[in-house]
Amino acid sequence: MKREQAEYEWTAYPFGLKASWRLVLGVPRRVVDAVRWNRSVIPTWRSYVVAGLVGLVLGLALYFAFAWPWWPFPVAALVVTAIAFAATALTSPAARSNTARDLREAVTISPERAYLRRRLDQVKPYLKADVPIYGLQPEWQGLRYFGLLEDDGRQFAGWGLTHRLEDPAEPELEVITYRTPVSRGEAVVEVAASGDDDFDDLLERSEGQWRTLVVTVDGEASEFSLLAHQDEWWAYRTIGGRGVLLHGMQGYPREGIELARVQDFTPYLDGHVEMLRRLGTA
């Protein structure tokens, strides 16, 4: 399904900021942070100590054997270690996408352009998806924003869209569309919090706990496999060769859910910006 990116390029920004020398001088720091924040493997100080010691031993050995300068070797070992860990920011499609997005933002000194680029980067993985992505029907009233993005190391494998009711309990429903079918148990494990003994026991007993939940999909009733745990629940079904998982949180109601293929991501993008504002990061 092809979606035009031009529809998502806005010409206004809400903050009224102006470029300053602080933005220019902060480019190197922001570039380093863009890579550092997106690494999939985070080094500890021990990693650098071990690398430095290995380089030092090698340097001293070559110094006594051939009278080579010893000091470049521990320095080189530290540099190579830092580069190796930095490279983990590019090891998967999601990591590469996030790193590229943050790098583009890091070198942008115009707040207006950075804001517009950030909005486009947020929606780009969904616009480029080569599978239909499901969300709640357009008539649903509430806050919509982008959710979980999954990849299999080669390409994006799952696209999540979150829907929050304006209620003090903040109940949420995330709809995740998978590129290929997965088992219902695997789908639940992917999004469930671990470390809960009750939940772990529930998964072990899950084959006897699944029930049926009727959900309207593209105007037709469909039966999903439902698993519930306290105020959280999961419902899974394969639709058109794609796995679709519903993840209800904080007691999101299960009745009357209607799914539809998302044709316009503007409400999700606007809601995403609103969520960032509420979190104080916009």
Per-residue model confidence (pLDDT) at position 188: 78
Band (100; pLDDT cuts 50, 70, 90)? confident
What is the band of 80 on the pLDDT scale with cuts at 50, 70, 90?
Answer: very high
Which of residues 177 and 40 earns the better pLDDT score? 177
The pLDDT value given to residue 4: 40
Rounded to whole angstroms, what are the CA distances from 86 to 35, 46, 82, 153?
A: 6, 16, 6, 17
Burial call 219-252: b when 16+ CB within 10 Å, e when fewer? eeeeebbbbbbeebbbbbbebeebbbbbbbbebb
Grade residue 209 by pLDDT with cuts at 50, 70 and 90.
confident
Q: Specify the DSSP class assigned to residue 209.
A: T
- Angstrom distances, CA of residue 100 to CA of 31, 51, 110, 192: 10, 28, 17, 28
In this prediction, residue 225 has a pLDDT band, given cuts at 50, 70 and 90, of: very high
Contact yes or no for 111/105 (Cβ under 8 A): no
Give 184-197 pLDDT, tens digit per residue. Answer: 877 777 666 544 55
Once rounded to an integer, what is the mean pLDDT over residues 142-170?
87
Instruction: Say whether pLDDT at 217 is over 80.
Output: yes
**Nearest in space to 267 (alpha carbons), one of 151, 147, 146:** 146
Q: Kindly tell me the sign of the dihedral angle through the C-alpha atoms of 150, 226, 265, 108.
A: negative
Work out the average pLDDT over 4-24.
Answer: 47
Structure tokens at 202: 């529930």
- Entry pTM: 0.66
What pLDDT is recorded for position 133?
96
